[in-house]
Structure 1
Amino acid sequence: MKQLLIIAHAPSENTRLLRDTAYRAACHPDLEQLSCVVKAPLDAGPEDVLACDAILLGTTENLGYMSGALKDFFDRSYYSVLEHKYGLPCALYVRAGHDGTGTQRAVESIVSGLRWRWVQPPLILRGSWQQSFADQVEELSMTLAFSVDNGIV
């Protein structure tokens, strides 16, 4: 079995909906060779990254940056996984009240240093809440999950 790890900061009802949608999509019944683990950034660590075959990151935009919780996860995990997870397939969604570009740049900088591989461009969910945000996260998660399950990434 392959494993998809979802690390998502979800401090509000809407961000919990996004996290739960990503998890449900990654647990699609047609995915036969993939299991999915979902964790909050403060509960995840390097051992989780070392055990996974792909990672989906979810964060809020906080003061033009990623959530402090996701930054804490990276701070605790970076050097422990650096030499072991080159090329790890990854994807990102950002729930941004503004434009999300600072958040995207910050995560991209860390992912670049880790030498993880973007499977899709980061998904930035900008502005006021829209129900379509959940649909977009579902598609992102399902695409990543099916790509891992089928050995495409």
Structure 2
Amino acid sequence: MAPMPTLLVVHHTPSPTMQAMLEAVIAGARDDTIEGVTVEVRPALAATAVDVLAADAYLLGTPVNIGYMSGALKHFFDQIYYPVLEATIGRPYALYVHGNSDTTGAVRGIETIATGLKWKRLREPLSVVGEVDAAVREACRELGATVAANLMKN
């Protein structure tokens, strides 16, 4: 029997806003209708190349800090980039970001790194500016479910 596909959620969650988004993403990824997918959740400062190599898809979450991804997510990429470069080509990823005014720089930076890794963007990034309300939480839940369901089909 083949092992279940694994979704790795790598996040930096320093605020209640990011916590609400993370919880909704995880709830979506672990929805009862999605079967046969393991969801692993790692803080960006704790995620390793071993975690990345063991996963079949990635869901990344970060706040926008000074117009860019968090230092924690950048550290994650710095640690895993070369060790996983060849082995993870073509793997799907998705992204959620939150900023108080603009998310453009963070999204661009992450997409540039993912392009270098040759990861395949599964869908448009979920980019949130301002308050996290019920609609944003639902969008996060849908994002998690979409990425996990994509693994279920494979």
Shorter-normalised TM-score: what interval? Answer: over 0.9
CA contact (8 A) 2:20 2:132 kept: no
Aligned positions of 1:131-150 closer than 5 A: 131-150=134-153
CA contact (8 A) 1:91 1:144 kept: yes
Runs of 4+ aligned structure 1 residues displaced above 4 Å come to none
Identity over aligned residues, as a percent? 40
The match for 1:23 among 11, 21, 26 is 26
Aligned positions of 1:77-116 closer than 5 A: 77-116=80-119
Instruction: Describe the superposition over 1:99-149 as per-residue Cα deviations: whole angstroms up to 9, x where unpaired.
Output: 200001000110000000000011100123433221111111111111111
Q: Tell me, in whole angstroms, the C-alpha distance in 2 between the residues paired with 1:55 and 1:112.
A: 14
Segments of 5+ residues of structure 1 without an aligned counterpart are none
Q: Output the TM-score relative to the length of structure 1.
A: 0.95
Instruction: Describe the superposition over 1:1-38 as per-residue Cα deviations: whole angstroms up to 9, x where unpaired.
Output: 01000011110112111111111111112222101001
CA contact (8 A) 2:21 2:132 kept: no
Higher relative contact order (CA 8 A, sep 6+): 2
Greater Cα shift, 7-16 or 71-80 = 7-16
Q: Tell me, in whole angstroms, the C-alpha distance in 2 between the residues paired with 1:128 and 1:146.
A: 27
RMSD of Structure 2 on Structure 1 (CA): 0.9
Q: Tell me, in whole angstroms, the C-alpha distance in 1 between the residues paired with 2:145 and 2:107.
A: 21
Match of 1:61, SS state, is strand
Segments of 5+ residues of structure 2 without an aligned counterpart are none
Q: Tell me, in whole angstroms, the C-alpha distance in 1 between the residues paired with 2:112 and 2:24.
A: 26
Q: Output the TM-score relative to the length of structure 2.
A: 0.95
Structure 2 counterpart of 1:53 = 56
